[in-house]
A = this chain, B = another copy of it.
Amino acid sequence: MRATLMYGPGDVRVENVPDARIVAPTDAVVRVTLACVCGSDLHPYHSMDPSGEGAPMGHEFLGVVEETGSEVRGLKRGDFVVSPFAYSDNTCPICRDGFHTACPRGGWYGAGGVGGAQAEAVRVPQADGTLVKLPDDVDPALLPSLLTLSDVYLTGYHAAHMGRVGPGRTVTVIGDGAVGLSAVLAARRMGAGTPDAEGRGRIILMGRHKVRTDLGLEWGATDVVAERGAEGVAKVMELTGGEGSHVVLEAVGLMPAYEQAYGIVRPGGVISRVGVPQYEEAPVGFGSLFGKNAGLTGGPAPVRAYIEQAIPDVLEGRIDPGKVFDAEVGLDQVADAYRLMDTRANLKVLVRP
């Protein structure tokens, strides 16, 4: 079968690899209907150590179950499914708490002998716990939005959920990438974005790419701040009457975004991160978080916890997160998709095997 491998920075190839097949009795093999490239795929695209074997890429997909292992109970050949970007058993105490990305039996696509989803097919470990069935007769126009439940929309949702967004809480989203815009949409869905008499409850989007921030405004942002660094902080403080933002959703993962976040968070507020941190150490002491009782939360989104409730939101038209996709390629053109996203020519690119 054809699958995407990354060999080093900027070096993405589609090659013939052995067919995906059942390895453990809890596995399923899924033929991929629709996949895409993730902002997080650009991190290795910039800086991975060159690999002789190539790293399998892709972790977001819709597809059709082709084969199931002997212990799989809830799925059968022909089921149309969406997969979270991480697999998990959905039964252990950690999953029951809603933190599936830390499931002791879970793991990541493209690692540990599991293939990637930018491919014709993929092996899904812990298939019963991982895959969620979709109706067979979905309007094809809704497929991109359903694909965002694999990762991007529900990663934005996770940021807002962990930050306890709600009516009357001022929310600032740092980053106008697909996750940042999804966080705006999720914050609006949770009731932010209708400022009260004192101006609290705004959704402020920090970003400078007009096409993207326009989508943010369409999705519920009340203000756009294009400035960065100290100027950006000053602008948000001005918009919040000097109080700062109750919730800061940090969807970038770089240190300047973190610094911006603790600069604008209100005393007692919270910074919720879903951009994978490209740093390990960061300021957390009296001068950054502690002094103002600011909290820090977030991590890899356990999207499995949120998929079932999000499906009707998509099917019934309450949200349209698929608008983050602004281009589509075939599998053999996946290297183009990386290039288009890396140069910011496109926001997020569909891959149709």
Interface residues of A (CB under 8 A from B): 93-94, 97-99, 101-102, 104, 162, 198, 242-243, 266-268, 270, 273, 276-277, 279-300, 302
**Which B residues touch A284, using CB under 8 A?**
277, 280-282, 284, 296
Given A284-B284, A285-B281, also A268-B298 (CB < 8 A): no
CB-based nearest B residue for A276: B286
Q: Chain B's nearest CB lies how many Å from the CB of A292?
A: 5
**Which B residues touch A104, using CB under 8 A?**
242
Q: Chain B's nearest CB lies how many Å from the CB of A331?
A: 30
Please, how many angstroms separate the alpha-carbon atoms of A99 and B276 in the complex?
Answer: 30
Q: Which 8 A-B pairs have CB atoms at the shortest separation, nearest pair first?
A: A102-B267, A293-B299, A280-B285, A99-B268, A295-B297, A296-B296, A277-B285, A99-B267
Q: Chain B's nearest CB lies how many Å from the CB of A142?
A: 29
One complex includes copies of this chain to the number of 2
Task: Pull 9 A–B residue pairs with CB atoms less than 8 Å apart, ordered by A.
Answer: A94-B266, A99-B267, A102-B293, A277-B284, A280-B288, A282-B282, A282-B284, A295-B295, A295-B296
CB-based nearest B residue for A294: B299
**Which B residues touch A276, using CB under 8 A?**
286, 290
**Which B residues touch A99, using CB under 8 A?**
267-268, 292-293
Quick one: which of B267, B286, B299 contacts A289, CB cutoff 8 A? B299
**Which B residues touch A198, using CB under 8 A?**
93
Q: Is the CB of A291 within 8 A of B283?
A: no
Given A268-B98, A268-B99, also A289-B285 (CB < 8 A): no
Please, how many angstroms separate the alpha-carbon atoms of A99 and B289 in the complex?
Answer: 13
Q: Chain B's nearest CB lies how many Å from the CB of A257?
A: 13
**Which B residues touch A282, using CB under 8 A?**
281-282, 284-285
Q: Chain B's nearest CB lies how many Å from the CB of A101?
A: 7
Please, how many angstroms separate the alpha-carbon atoms of A51 and B91 in the complex?
Answer: 60
CB-based nearest B residue for A293: B299
